[in-house]
Chains A and B, each alone.
Chain A
Amino acid sequence: MRNAITIARKELSIYFTTSWAYLVFTGMLLVSSFFFVAMLESFKQVQQMARAMSWARLPPDWAMYKNLTDGVIVPLWGVVMIITLFVAPFLSMRLFAEEKRHKTFELLMTSPVRPMEIVLGKYLGGLAAISATLGLTIVFPAVLSIFGRSESGSALEWSTVLLGYAGLLLWGAACMAVGMFISSLTESQALAAFLTFAVLLPWMLLKGLAQNAEEPLRSIVNYISFDAQLQNMTKGVLDLKSIVFFGSVILFSVLLTQRAVEAQRWA
């Protein structure tokens, strides 16, 4: 475990000494701020309309705009989830591909370190990077809780907000695990990023495909779709099934990476 932490620390120091992490942070903050402002704006408009006409005369879908949590934060988490899909491959692509390109993979493999420790170290480093990226978005609910007002005490329902956020972290962790596995298969970072994206995007959109499928295929596809798994969590419903699902995706990816790392020797 000591070795895994050594490797994780090295990963983090490289993320933060190069401009990569900062670029990803900036991208995440810029895009999510844009959506945050847009969502606040539509929230304000609906609220004004409701004040003029009363909620009963507005479409029933708009009921979510009754409070800041459902009206702003829940849809915002949905957007951050999609941004994560775009930024996670940029963070995960270098994990193994870069080691192989710089020939430092040979150093790791000839040091007294087990392949599993290398994989865990890399994954922990990547996990810290994605958590830092997602951590920035906590600023939005914080702003709302400081400046927001509601008729019933606190401006936000923190349990819903944080559960949604935990869902996001799970999603980010799964993206990094899948990205790490793909990075362990190639020497090219660009290819690793592209393949990761090409795997994650359809996986996320599987739910749409499921609509037209027949049972039992439909339930299966629905179950393995990222989107369907995340739906409850982002709405603030604790769903053990999703935790098990994402936990399995992560575990499976880590094990596959370990196999891939060991298999390099047999190539």
Chain B
Amino acid sequence: MKLLRCPINGLRPIQEFYYGGEYRPMPDPDASTDAQWADYVFNRDGAPGVRLEWWYHLASGVWFLAEHDTARDVFLRTFLFEELGQG
């Protein structure tokens, strides 16, 4: 069973977490064509590799982001949403 580091609560067993899908910022609905919008709503990229994911610590209600190497199933980094873009 994997462990995941919540930025607030530290290293916890993965069953304490809810996976919230890949982090995909919403495109501007008004500026998107129907096709672009449908692509955002329905299509997901399942290719293995490093990607940014949403995770939620169920017990404490903390959303955060995780850099997940899905090819190796290794979490490279976890951080709060507020730190996005701060490296």
Same complex for A and B? Answer: no
